[in-house]
Chain A
């Protein structure tokens, strides 16, 4: 499960940056597959460490719980691994998730709970379930999953902070993905300059937009432009989960230990 939260990694030469900054002028509807590929490359570092604050709001907009967690991410040749460990509040401290994305419809997920002192395997195909009580589901942390989606360009529109956004609709292309996902369509709003998906609209199988992910702020971190804060709004129950990045290290050496089940088991 590669986190879109991570970043934009600029692999572009200055000339190409200029070219892409002009992109909206000449390509209102760029080739969707190509755009997704470029965006995917741009937002995926080899490794990240992030310390994150996660705020859960109820339907009245009241803050119900603040959580702090650390997220380790590393790309391997044929799979990616994400490990999340909760640091706070005490009731959830030490709990963690390890997710191995082998670019198939279902990831491998392991959960550790201090109350059982046991790592329990979770079916990756139940990725439509809520993630730890938040408005995110497990699948919301996935990358574009180009192997299992069709992409179609929509018209470019104004989006946030006077920026323009390419819009791309992603629909499941495989039966396994259709079965596992709770969405019939996702609409990515990809900022033309950063190529970061600053907004995602999630459409359920009845055609109703049920959730919206919005990046509130992007900022430079080293050679990357990355989200500082993002928010997932559930349009059905009106609850919201905000994520704020407190600390981030990108493309630094990251020991495999921090992606391992033995680290997952530490409290």
Chain B
């Protein structure tokens, strides 16, 4: 039995102990327990005998509502993962821990949590509060791949509007795949250079480094609108570099302050719902071919836009989206494109009294011709179990977002049980 698996068994036992505790409290209406056990097995489509993922997770969710207006929501997760990266991994984490109070005109949520902004599927523009677990790229549903943060989440409800303020002392970044992993994304460095890397510089937790966010949401006529602002840190490390010699350089990954302003909205039109999101940031760090640029990067102003339509054809949901991000000021020394755009198509249908769920998601890079195609099938049994079958197929040039994983096509089998 590999060490990682032994760890998982231990951690799982700890959680099952929690489940036992849950059962003991089952008669108490103040406690509500939920459990979720999920196993995913991935197989390489190019090398049919090669398993590329064995992922087992056990979630224990507790909701405690006492006699006061306060409520506690906690989610603990034990996870064992093999084959995704060169080393298997097992861990137990307190994924969410939220102490919340609901009053007539305000809510207060304190603790480790996810905050979801935005209205798009597949790619994120406004959904910027929580960084992501990206060791499986963006192939995992976001509710599982968001990394929850410790924060104060205050919501005020003047009339029918909502004002949300976030104070986030917890600074985390995307967790990227390790070198040698299937979904490792190598930093862009000049060809033929020897590369060494220092450890990631993360800002210390203090008042100066705290992240803040503000959102207004309201309905005006048929439009449901939000205005968003975020003063945080870049979530993907920026790989600044300096030359050690003419043939070698050293990378210094670091996070930088980032400001974002955004808006989103949706509106029904007949059998369709139109959605949009837009984001402006003056803090997009881009690699440039300029020896005077600090660390090889220059800060750029970027505008992003996403438009989407949810259209029903009978019971079929057909949802095309279009994304574009563009640097506001052209920079001739820029490595990479000034603008990029993507088009996606989601087709979704439930059958057999909602027991069978069909979904096709297709994302196409208009600039590079790269694509990700993800058909899936899920079948529910007895309201507790879900069998899943999903493929992730990539195509495109090696230097494009999806094309770099052209050889990583996979098929996933999953089993999920909820109690």
Contact = CB atoms under 8 A, between A and B. Distances in A.
Interface in B227-281: 266, 268-273, 275
A262 B155 contact: yes
B299 interface: no
B418 A90 contact: yes
Contact of B354 (A106, A118, A121, A132): A132
B107 interface: yes
Interface string A90-118: 11110000000000001010000011111
B29 interface: no
B384 A91 contact: yes
B315 A91 contact: no
Interface string B122-146: 0000000000000000000111000
A116 B142 contact: yes
B162 interface: yes
Contacts of A56: 353
Contacts of A120: 119, 310
B355 interface: yes
B212 interface: no
Interface residues of B, number: 39
Interface in A244-259: 255-257
Interface stretch (A6-14, A122-130, A212-220): A122-130
Interface string B148-159: 000000010100
B307 to A, nearest CB: 15
Contact of A126 (B142, B312, B383): B312
Contacts of A64: 353, 355
Given A257-B104, A262-B157, A122 B273 contact: yes
A124 B271 CA distance: 7
Nearest to B36: A90
B79 to A, nearest CB: 18
Contacts of A121: 224, 266, 268, 273, 275, 310
Given A90-B34, A106-B268, A123 B273 contact: yes
Given A115-B141, A116-B142, A123 B310 contact: yes
A125 B350 contact: no
Nearest to B219: A108
A90 B384 contact: yes
Contact of A91 (B119, B272, B380): B380
Contacts of A108: 222, 268
A117 B355 contact: no
Contacts of B222: 108
Contacts of B104: 255-257
Given A122-B273, A262-B157, A92 B353 contact: no
B116 A90 contact: no
Contacts of B315: 129-130
Nearest to A265: B116
Interface in A30-75: 56, 58, 64-67
A133 B355 CA distance: 8
Contacts of B300: none
Interface string B198-235: 00000000000000000000000010100000000000
Contacts of B269: 123
B87 interface: no
Interface string B327-368: 000000000000000000000001001110000000000000
A56 B148 CA distance: 37
Contacts of A180: 271
B383 A262 contact: no
B199 to A, nearest CB: 32
Interface string A231-267: 0000000010000000000000001110011100000
B96 to A, nearest CB: 11
Contacts of B271: 123, 125-126, 180
Contacts of B116: 116-118
Contacts of A118: 116, 119
Interface of A: 56, 58, 64-67, 88-93, 106, 108, 114-118, 120-126, 129-130, 132-134, 179-180, 239, 255-257, 260-262
Given A130-B354, A239-B353, 12 more contacts: A65-B355, A90-B384, A90-B419, A92-B383, A117-B114, A121-B268, A121-B310, A122-B268, A130-B350, A180-B271, A260-B157, A262-B155
Interface of B: 34, 102, 104, 107, 114, 116, 119, 141-143, 155, 157, 162, 222, 224, 266, 268-273, 275, 310, 312, 314-315, 350, 353-355, 380, 382-386, 418-419
21 contacts: A64-B355, A67-B383, A89-B383, A93-B34, A108-B268, A116-B116, A117-B114, A117-B116, A120-B119, A120-B310, A121-B273, A122-B268, A123-B269, A123-B312, A126-B271, A130-B315, A130-B354, A132-B354, A133-B350, A179-B270, A239-B353
